[in-house]
Amino acid sequence: MSPACPPVFDAAGRDRPRATGARASCCARRILAPWALTLVLAAVTSAEEPPRVAVTGHVPPASQVDARTAIREGVRWLVRHQNADGSFGSHETKRPYEVLASVPGSQDAFLVATTGLCLLALQDVRDPSAEAQRAREKALDFLLAKADVRRQSGMEHYNVWAFGYALRALSAELSRAPDGPRAAALRAKSAQLVEKLALYQTTDGGWGYLSLNGVPTLHPSDTSMSFTTATILIGVQGAAAAGVEVPAALRAKAVEHLERSRLPDGAFLYGEYLKYRPRLDVNERKGSACRTPACLYALELCGGQVTPDEYRAALEDLLVRHAALQRAGIREPIPHRSFYAISGYFYLYGHAYAGYALARLPAADQARYGPLLERAVLFCREPDGAFWDYPLYGYHDAYGTAYALIALARVPGALGP
């Protein structure tokens, strides 16, 4: 999930003054804060050898495990920390600073989105244990009952994240058992979520999660975000593949938004509101590295033209050329304050979708980039088996672990022969 507001700039490309109070907590001023002085840029040794990321300084001890161990212990962590009602995460926090997410609507949205991600992770790793299967069933029950959350206000509509991830998880279950005992309920709930996404589709064609400018409207009219749109399109396409009816116009408008966000150098605009400032740091390939894999994958699923070379370039940016810049934003508590306006909450998100991109490439490319993806994800691992990259109420370790498992499940050999 991307829980905070987008970077805001004036006509000259400078940070625009923020509001105070609740808005200030959401839109904290972006400052280039180089706390990651121990990181150096990645280097490619040769065309014949796998690229190696040169990182100096502290290496987290918890990262020194293999992918199979990390997956096994990550699943165990999810099972132990599932809520009694089947959900994952919590609104509780011990920190004095949090992003804007009002009760009840925005917190409900985070809870559903986190649960959808955890269910996706449990589906992907295919853990046959009884405990993992029970956790999966409980999460599924929760989503069937609670997925259609309301938006908090005209300004906060984080519920699109809930719809996107719940739809992806529910449609995946439907595809696995189209004639199973839950099929009718899964189909009905998926259709309802598609209707909800049509209601909250931004007038420029995609989806966003905050409307900070202008007058709030029934259909959000501020701006779509490329990565939010990509995430939701993947869920929509999964529903269509499972036999759920999806309006052609809904998908076409979202694809058009992504195509408009696609820059000639391979990056994607952060949001449509920055279309006249394509060279701002957040829109450069360094700033786009964690959202490019998701955008490419969504376009290809929807019939767009994406070449293997574009996937390779995206993985090279994320895992080699600009890997250190992505790590520099990890666990920085104020959004967009690291280099190239990178926020910590993009790190595991970007690597999860890099896993999907990796799976689209030939075996030789998977052998080249798989170990790098594994190492990059394990960088965020905790001693208890959880993963997280950004502090967000009580949700970050649950959805961070889910993103990590989704990525690691696509590393060659991680799930066994």
45 has pLDDT over 80: no
Name the pLDDT band for 11 (thresholds 50, 70, 90). very low
363-373 pLDDT, tens digit each:
999 999 999 99
Residue type, 190: S
SS3 for 381?
strand
Q: Could you give the CA distance from residue 278 to residue 263 in angstroms, rounded to a whole number?
A: 8
User: Quick check: 43 pLDDT over 70?
Assistant: no
pLDDT in tens, 171-220: 999 999 999 999 999 999 999 999 999 999 999 999 999 998 877 888 89
The domain ranges of the chain are 64-408
Whole-model pTM: value is 0.89
Average pLDDT over residues 251-263: 98
- Quote the tokens at residue 279: 């060279």
Average pLDDT value for residue range 342-369: 98
Confidence of residue 417 (pLDDT cuts 50, 70, 90): confident
pLDDT at 97: 84
Q: In this structure, are residues 403 and 93 in contact, taking their beta carbons and an 8 Å threshold?
A: no
Structure tokens belonging to residue 21: 């109070």
> Quick one: average pLDDT of 87-97?
93
Q: Which residue has the higher pLDDT, 417 or 310?
A: 310
Both tokens assigned to 140: 């599924």
Q: What's the rounded Cα separation, in Å, for the pair 210 and 216?
A: 10
pLDDT in tens, 146-182: 999 999 999 999 999 999 999 999 999 999 999 999 9
Architecture of domain 64-408: Alpha/alpha barrel (1.50)
Q: What percent of the chain has pLDDT over 70?
A: 86
Residues 288 and 343: their CA atoms lie apart, in Å, by 11
